């Protein structure tokens, strides 16, 4: 059994003896024994090797072996014999499903994703932990694998729609990454009726031979009930939203106000005029700021809510906050990380009350550089609760409004002016540093009294947003530097530069526009920023910016620091939002562990009466634990992004559902091999024009140039092209909106870009046309003139309420019968069943997070990832018909806020002052007069936001 003699003694026996009354061999020792064995070892054989005879010890070893297998250290075969996982050619990872039935394994060690065929995905759910063996085959450049063991089943219940069809009962999961229906045995449907939304508990996990089974444990309500989209997203993405009893009890034991004993042993800064600056509807205030002029520069104070004082390590509050990872900000609804008693009460830096805080005090030079900093525990008193709108008006406004506000807040106006001057210096330093500064449009959703979308309005950023952003960036940088300097095991916010493939695609796209990106194989943030400055003022500037943004990687939390590419920092972390982000709470604990120690350092300020606290009570984490926390927090951040994106997509689909047949102006926001994604200019809603709906031609997708090119007509559809589109289909269940091209405003490719064979062919066609008789041309011109005249005489209109079948309202015009017939045929085709496109769904599956210093709550999702085919593909476009493909990904503007926008934009993403969305003007299209659809009229009342669930 053994290659050599077993080790005589467990080197970690003393550690195990401290932890357990009946100590068992350590994991390290078990791994060493298995490494020496020449074959897999059973539990019984292991007991013999270790000379374990006691019943308790034998049972404890069995449990340890199971735990090691669950954690991916071991794997067992069919006869329950164990072997080290790292000694066989397998990969451990997490399953990520796809809406088309196949999936991937995301390796735990960070390697390349492994493709799972539909047959393999029948065995598991999205999110399960598995071990796969590589098959040696490849699928679209990815290794294909086969599941040999499921380590952890992570789906125990799910939300979906209940169906009862001819006596067969099942639940269709709302999560698009889970494609198996859950069979519901007779009598286990919990009173649900056909079509209702339910929560089902899984009683039998899936395997290759049978579908999973379950039972209905909760009926959420009818499919279209108001607010159901949020409840569905919460359930589908597994977002914890119900507080455990232990958490409720622990929060109830806390006082409503700061106790006097807690104010002791802290630096008292209540006399200093700290202010908070947030959105109009914000209810939790993480941070307050203060600025003083000093010789050679400024002294900046950033006070952050001291959550670590109230949320103790491994308490019920701590465990639940870690499971949630971050607050989730839906439009008009919040699922908080901490109970409201803390998030909106005891921890929130509310005005005119005492609050405990962690302060970062910084010295900043006139050049905008941080020359020194200190962290300390403090007690503060906010002197004013200000909003971005008010501060922006006070600083840069004009007229009576500005004068009135300056009078109302005259005690803090000097403070605001100092902060504004500091911001100008910090902004100059940011430009010198070369941080990437994306400027994109963010939007808010406003609701009416029935919680239907009333309007979608853009968010306008002012200097107040940017001022707070720069202050938070400074504090976060100091926190990251502190962690490094004191050799603490902590989480950094890491954003690495672009990959070789993405960089090559970006350069190819830029070369088509006569542009270039400096920096060679390793461009710097400054090179990106230089290009952004070059494209300012260009009509296609925002599209170029979108492509640049998509070339960047996703930001995440890691133990190893690799810098932050987008912000241009060598070290960066998140410190300023511990109420809503768990990584920030961990960083606070790391800093506090040094403040409450005796370690000599100049970067903390201690109060003599504050006694040292052993680190094991404040920050007892190992590198392995912190690595797990980083992965967990990155995952919950993506979970929140996906859930909010699902809700917004659902609401937008509901918004346009009554507008089928309406016509809008839009622009191409993404190009793929299967069609064009178009964003409506005034509604900020995105839908798909499938390639089969484009004018008759073979269309070649050129990924580097991001365009579709007609083989015969040479028509070009590319990023940023302005199009007029008709809404032809809205699929609420799948969050898809389909458009049809109404006007063919495509652009021909310049002759310099035409391939030699194509150019030769085009020359022959041109010569043949030139040789035709002039009389025919004249006849065509005469016909066109007649058609133009008859168009002006036509009075029939087509309104937004016209059905997608497109009946002609002006049937009395005889000269337009042919056109009407053609139009009716074309629109009738939109009622045919939509065809699904794998690529359409693939692009919707991934999002990108860059970073938000104090910005959009947690992370944000980028514009959809474009299909990365290396070779151009030609696709035949038959007669137009509707498609079902709809990309449900957030626009790049939201991603860009992580680099350049303020901290609270996403928290207030659904709140905004009323603004009017103007409908597009009427336009005559293809010889028929069409009345464009106006956005629904605004209601006088807007639903008040709920704070927490």
What mean pLDDT comes out for the span 805-826? 38
**pLDDT in the model for residue 21:** 67
Dist. CA 506–CA 495, nearest whole Å:
18
Statement: residue 6 has pLDDT above 70 = no
- 381 — pLDDT class (breaks 50, 70, 90): very high
774 versus 84: the higher-pLDDT residue is 84
Q: What is the mean pLDDT of residues 362-384?
A: 96
Over 60: is that where the pLDDT of 640 sits?
yes
Determine the Cα–Cα distance for residues 77 and 41; give it in Å rounded to an integer: 10
| Average pLDDT over every residue of 202-216 | 93
pLDDT band (50, 70, 90) for residue 786: very low
Task: Extract the runs of DSSP E, i.e. beta strands, from 562-704.
Answer: 663-672, 675-680, 686-690, 697-702
Query: Residues 240-254: pLDDT tens digits?
Result: 999 999 999 999 999
Give the separation between CA 565 and CA 528, rounded to whole angstroms.
10
Residue 895 near residue 549, CB atoms below 8 Å: yes
Q: How many CB atoms lie within 10 A of CB 767?
A: 9
| pTM for the full predicted model | 0.72
CB 636 within 8 A of CB 325: yes
Give the pLDDT score at 884.
37
pLDDT at site 860: 34
Q: For a pLDDT cut of 90, what percent of the chain falls above it? A: 49
pLDDT for position 902 = 40
At residue 470's C-alpha, the angle toward residues 466 and 473, to 5°, is 135
The secondary element (H helix, E strand) that includes residue 72 is none
Rounded to the nearest 10°, the torsion over CA 317, 321, 323, 327 is 150
For residue 706, the model assigns a pLDDT of 83
- In the predicted model, what is the mean pLDDT of residues 710-732? 91
DSSP 3-state of 903: coil
Which CATH topology does 157-223 take?
A: OB fold (Dihydrolipoamide Acetyltransferase, E2P) (2.40.50)
Q: pLDDT band for 481, please (50, 70, 90 cuts).
A: very high
Question: Which pLDDT does position 3 carry in this prediction?
Answer: 44
CATH class of the structural domain 89-152: mainly beta
pLDDT of residue 899 exceeding 50, the answer is no
Q: Where are the alpha helices (DSSP H) in 602-738?
A: 615-618, 623-657
- Cβ neighbours for 695, distance < 8 A, ≥ 6 positions apart: 710, 713, 715, 741, 744, 746, 877
pLDDT of res. 10: 76
Helix, strand, coil abundance in the chain, percent, nearest 5 = 35, 25, 40
Cα 257 to the center of its chain, rounded Å: 36
State residue 543's pLDDT score: 81
The first and second tokens of residue 388, run together, are 């971005």
Q: What are 573-611's pLDDT values in tens digits? A: 999 999 999 999 999 999 999 999 999 999 999 998 899
| The pLDDT value given to residue 757 | 43
Residue 351 contacts residue 385 (beta carbons within 8 Å): yes
Q: Where do we find the tokens 């040479």? A: 714
Segment 406-416 mean pLDDT: 93
CATH number of 13-85: 1.10.10
CA distance 384 to 386: 6
**Considering the chain, what is the average pLDDT of its residues?**
79
CA 365 vs. chain centroid, Å, equals: 36
Asked if residue 918 has pLDDT above 90, the reply is no
pLDDT, tens only, 246-293: 999 999 999 999 999 999 999 999 999 999 999 988 888 999 999 999
Question: Which residues, at least 6 apart from 451, have a Cβ–Cβ distance to it below 8 Å?
Answer: 226, 227, 332, 943
pLDDT in tens, 746-781: 444 433 344 444 444 445 544 554 554 443 333 333
Token output for 551: 């070339």
CA-based nearest residue to 101, from 81, 80, 122: 122
Cβ(453)–Cβ(655) below 8 Å: yes
User: Which of 163-177, 385-399, 513-527, 842-856 shows the lowest per-residue confidence on average (mean pLDDT)?
Assistant: 842-856
CATH code that applies to domain 660-769+834-890 = 2.40.50.140
Secondary structure of 95-138 as H, E, C letters = EEECCCCCEEEEECCCCCCEEECHHHHCCCCCCCEEEEEEEEEE
Between residues 464 and 832, the one the model is more confident about: 464
- Beta-strand ranges (E) seen in 174-250 are 182-183, 197-204, 213-221
Which of 130-134, 262-266, 472-476, 804-808 is predicted most confidently? 472-476
Average pLDDT (207-216) is: 92
Q: Which two tokens stand for residue 329?
A: 């900000």
In three-state secondary structure terms, 382 is strand
Local structure of 436: helix, strand or coil = coil
Angle at 220 between CA 581 and CA 948, to 5 degrees: 30
Residue ranges of the domains in the chain? 13-85, 89-152, 157-223, 245-497+554-641, 506-550, 660-769+834-890
What pLDDT sits at residue 771?
A: 52
The three-class DSSP label of residue 557 is: strand
Q: Which of the four pLDDT bands, split at 50, 70 and 90, describes residue 540?
A: confident
Q: How confident is the model at residue 8 (pLDDT cuts 50, 70, 90)?
A: low
On the question of a common fold for 89-152 and 157-223, the answer reads: yes
Selection from 243, 250, 225 nearest residue 324 by Cα: 243
Closest alpha carbon to 458 in 891, 774, 939: 891
Instruction: Give all strands of the β-sheet with 697-702 in edge-to-edge order.
Output: 747-748, 715-718, 707-710, 697-702, 873-877
Those residues whose C-beta lies under 8 Å from the C-beta of residue 247, and which sit 6 or more positions away, are 316, 317, 320, 339
What pLDDT band is residue 62 in, cutting at 50, 70 and 90?
Answer: confident
Pick the range with the lowest mean pLDDT from 9-13, 310-314, 459-463, 751-755: 751-755
What distance in Å separates the CA atoms of residue 517 and residue 544, rounded to the nearest whole number? 12
Burial class of 560 by CB neighbour count within 10 A (0 to 12, 13 to 18, 19+) = exposed
pLDDT of res. 779: 38
Which pLDDT band holds residue 503 (cuts at 50, 70, 90)? Answer: very high
Flag whether pLDDT at 68 surpasses 70.
yes
State mean pLDDT over 217-224: 89
* 797 vs 39: which has the higher pLDDT: 39
């Amino acid at each position: 059994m053994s290659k050599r003699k077993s080790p005589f003694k467990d080197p970690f026996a003393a550690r195990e003896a401290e932890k357990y009354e009946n100590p068992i061999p350590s994991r390290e020792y078990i791994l060493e024994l298995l490494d020496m064995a020449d074959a897999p070892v059973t539990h019984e054989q292991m007991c013999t090797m270790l000379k374990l005879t006691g019943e308790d010890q034998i049972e404890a070893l069995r449990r340890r072996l199971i735990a090691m297998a669950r954690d991916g250290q071991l794997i067992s075969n069919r006869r329950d014999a164990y072997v080290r996982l790292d000694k066989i050619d397998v990969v451990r990872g997490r399953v990520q499903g796809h809406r088309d039935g196949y999936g991937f394994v995301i390796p735990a060690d960070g390697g390349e994703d492994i493709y799972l065929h539909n047959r393999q995905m029948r065995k598991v759910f999205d999110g399960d932990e598995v071990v796969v063996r590589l098959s040696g085959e490849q699928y679209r450049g990815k290794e294909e694998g086969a599941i040999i063991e499921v380590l952890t089943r992570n789906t125990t219940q799910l939300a979906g729609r209940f169906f009862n069809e001819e006596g067969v009962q099942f639940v269709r999961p709302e999560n698009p990454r889970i494609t198996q229906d859950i069979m519901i045995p007779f009598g286990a449907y919990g009173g649900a009726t056909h079509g209702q939304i339910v929560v089902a508990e899984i009683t039998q996990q899936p395997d290759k031979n049978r579908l999973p089974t379950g039972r209905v444990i909760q009926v959420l309500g009818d499919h279209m009930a108001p607010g159901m989209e949020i409840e569905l997203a919460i359930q589908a993405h597994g977002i914890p939203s119900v507080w455990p009893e232990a958490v409720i009890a622990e929060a109830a034991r806390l006082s409503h106000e700061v106790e006097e004993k807690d104010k002791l042993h802290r630096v008292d800064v209540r006399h200093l005029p700290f202010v908070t600056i947030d959105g109009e509807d914000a209810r939790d205030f993480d941070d307050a700021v203060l600025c003083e002029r000093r010789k050679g520069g400024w002294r900046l104070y950033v006070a952050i809510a001291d959550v670590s004082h109230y949320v103790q390590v491994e308490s019920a509050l701590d465990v639940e906050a870690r499971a949630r990872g971050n607050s989730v900000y839906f439009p008009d609804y919040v699922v908080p990380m901490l109970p409201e008693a803390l998030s909106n009460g005891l921890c929130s830096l509310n005005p005119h009350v005492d609050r405990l805080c962690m302060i970062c005090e910084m010295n900043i030079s006139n050049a905008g550089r941080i020359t020194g900093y200190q962290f300390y525990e403090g007690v503060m008193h906010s002197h004013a609760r200000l909003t971005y709108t008010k501060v922006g008006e006070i600083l840069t406004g004009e007229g009576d409004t500005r004068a009135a506000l300056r009078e109302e807040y005259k005690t803090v106006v000097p403070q605001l002016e100092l902060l504004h001057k500091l911001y100008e210096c910090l902004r100059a330093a940011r430009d010198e540093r070369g941080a990437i500064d994306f400027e994109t449009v963010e939007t808010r959703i406003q609701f009416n009294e029935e919680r239907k979308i009333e309007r979608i309005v853009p968010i306008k950023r002012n200097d107040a947003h940017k001022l707070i952003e720069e202050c938070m960036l400074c504090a976060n940088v100091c926190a990251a530097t502190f962690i490094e300097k004191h050799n603490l095991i902590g989480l950094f916010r890491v954003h690495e530069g672009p990959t070789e493939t993405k960089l090559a695609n970006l350069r190819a796209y830029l070369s088509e526009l006569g542009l270039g990106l400096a920096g060679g194989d390793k461009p710097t943030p400054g090179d990106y920023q230089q290009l952004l400055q070059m494209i300012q003022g260009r009509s296609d500037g925002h599209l170029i910016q979108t492509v640049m943004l998509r070339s960047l990687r996703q930001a995440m939390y890691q133990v190893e620091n690799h810098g932050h590419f987008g912000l241009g920092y060598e070290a960066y972390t998140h410190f300023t939002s511990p109420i809503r982000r768990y990584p920030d709470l961990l960083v606070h604990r790391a800093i506090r562990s040094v403040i409450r120690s005796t370690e000599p350092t100049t970067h903390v300020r201690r109060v003599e009466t504050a006694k040292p606290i052993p680190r094991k009570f404040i920050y007892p984490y190992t590198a392995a634990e912190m690595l797990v926390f980083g992965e967990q927090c990155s995952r919950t951040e993506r979970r929140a992004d996906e859930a909010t994106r699902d809700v917004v997509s659902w609401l937008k689909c509901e918004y346009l559902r009554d507008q089928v047949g309406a016509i809008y102006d839009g622009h191409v926001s993404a190009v793929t091999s299967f069609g064009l994604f178009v964003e409506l200019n005034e509604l900020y809603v995105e839908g798909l024009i499938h390639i089969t709906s484009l004018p008759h031609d073979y269309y070649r997708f050129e990924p580097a140039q991001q365009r579709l090119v007609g083989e015969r007509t040479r028509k070009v559809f590319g990023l940023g092209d302005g199009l007029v589109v008709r809404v032809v289909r809205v699929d609420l269940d799948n969050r898809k909106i389909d458009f049809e091209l109404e006007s063919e405003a495509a652009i021909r490719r310049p002759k310099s870009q035409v391939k030699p064979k194509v150019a030769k062919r085009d020359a022959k066609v041109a010569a043949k046309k030139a040789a035709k008789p002039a009389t025919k041309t004249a006849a065509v011109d005469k016909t066109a003139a007649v058609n133009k005249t008859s168009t002006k005489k036509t009075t029939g209109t087509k309104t937004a309420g016209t059905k997608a079948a497109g009946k002609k309202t002006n049937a009395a015009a005889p000269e337009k019968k042919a056109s009407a017939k053609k139009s009716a045929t074309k629109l009738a085709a939109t009622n045919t069943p939509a065809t699904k496109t794998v690529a359409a769904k693939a692009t919707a599956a991934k999002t990108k997070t860059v970073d938000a210093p104090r910005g959009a709550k947690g992370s944000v999702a980028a514009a959809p990832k474009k299909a990365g085919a290396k070779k151009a593909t030609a696709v035949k476009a038959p007669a137009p018909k509707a498609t079902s493909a709809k990309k449900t990904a957030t626009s790049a503007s939201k991603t860009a806020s992580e680099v350049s926008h303020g901290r609270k934009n996403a928290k207030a993403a659904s709140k905004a002052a009323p603004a009017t969305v103007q409908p597009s003007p009427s336009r005559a299209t293809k010889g028929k007069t069409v009345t464009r659809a106006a956005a629904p009229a605004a209601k006088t009342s807007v639903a008040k936001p709920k704070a927490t669930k």
